[in-house]
């Protein structure tokens, strides 16, 4: 069943760049469909503004459909390939991160002293907060977004996975 807003929307958390009148603003894509996206970030333009949304080598032109409290909807001029926009790009360090998360999620061996649940949650919460703050600082720097777009996307994905572990 198609939604009136442009079809199926994929919920994501992707770092991207919004280009408005030649100026770049780092944003996060929260959901995306072939016809539009929900983005959030600072200094978002008003409704009706012509924009270009960039993620790595991908770009889509469109306009701001609505703007409320640090979020806005983008309507693309032409349909995009959502799979390309949401594709995760692996890198050599990803396996080490995956292994670490698996170890954190794995139950303790019989007889091993496990940390108290509250202490473990506090530790993971602290790590999650530090990672999120670092991601925000890096995403706020256009030079870093341009030079390290894929790495920022990976950090975003890691932060999301960590938040999922905490909420489970």
Measured distance CA(105)–CA(100) in Å, rounded: 9
- Residue 149 maps to a domain: yes
Q: Please give the model's pTM, rounded to 2 decimal places.
A: 0.53
**Maximum CA pair distance of the chain?**
62
Domain boundary among 52, 86, 120: 86
Domain boundary among 86, 109, 130: 86
Give the residue numbers spanning the domain of 47.
Answer: 10-86
**CATH number of residue 29's parent domain:** 2.40.10.220
Interval 82-137: pLDDT, tens: 998 888 655 445 455 555 555 555 555 555 555 555 555 567 777 777 777 777 77
Last residue of a domain, one of 86, 102, 120: 86
Percent of the chain with pLDDT over 70: 71
- Cα dist from 88 to 48, 94, 157, whole Å: 31, 11, 9
How buried is residue 39: exposed, middle or buried, by Cβ count under 10 Å (0-12/13-18/19+)?
A: buried
28 and 44 assigned to the same domain: yes
Three-state SS at 132:
helix
Q: Quote the number of domains for the chain.
A: 2
Q: What is the pLDDT of residue 58?
A: 92
| 102 shares a domain with 77 | no
- On whether both 100 and 126 belong to a single domain, the answer is yes
């Amino acid at each position: 069943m198609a939604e009136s807003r442009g079809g199926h929307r994929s919920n994501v958390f992707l770092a991207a760049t919004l280009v408005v009148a030649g100026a770049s603003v780092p944003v996060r894509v929260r959901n995306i469909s072939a016809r539009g996206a929900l983005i959030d970030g600072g200094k978002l333009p008003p409704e009706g503004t012509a924009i270009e949304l960039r993620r790595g080598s991908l770009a889509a032109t469109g306009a701001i459909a609505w703007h409320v409290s640090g979020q806005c909807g983008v309507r693309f001029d032409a349909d995009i390939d959502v799979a390309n926009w949401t594709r995760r790009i692996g890198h050599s360090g990803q396996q080490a991160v995956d292994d670490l998360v698996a170890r954190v999620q794995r139950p303790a061996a019989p007889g091993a002293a496990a940390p108290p649940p509250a202490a473990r949650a506090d530790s993971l919460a602290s790590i999650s907060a530090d990672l999120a703050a670092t991601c925000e600082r890096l995403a706020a720097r256009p030079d870093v977004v341009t030079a390290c777009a894929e790495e920022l996307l990976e950090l975003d994905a890691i932060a999301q996975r960590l938040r999922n572990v905490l909420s489970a």
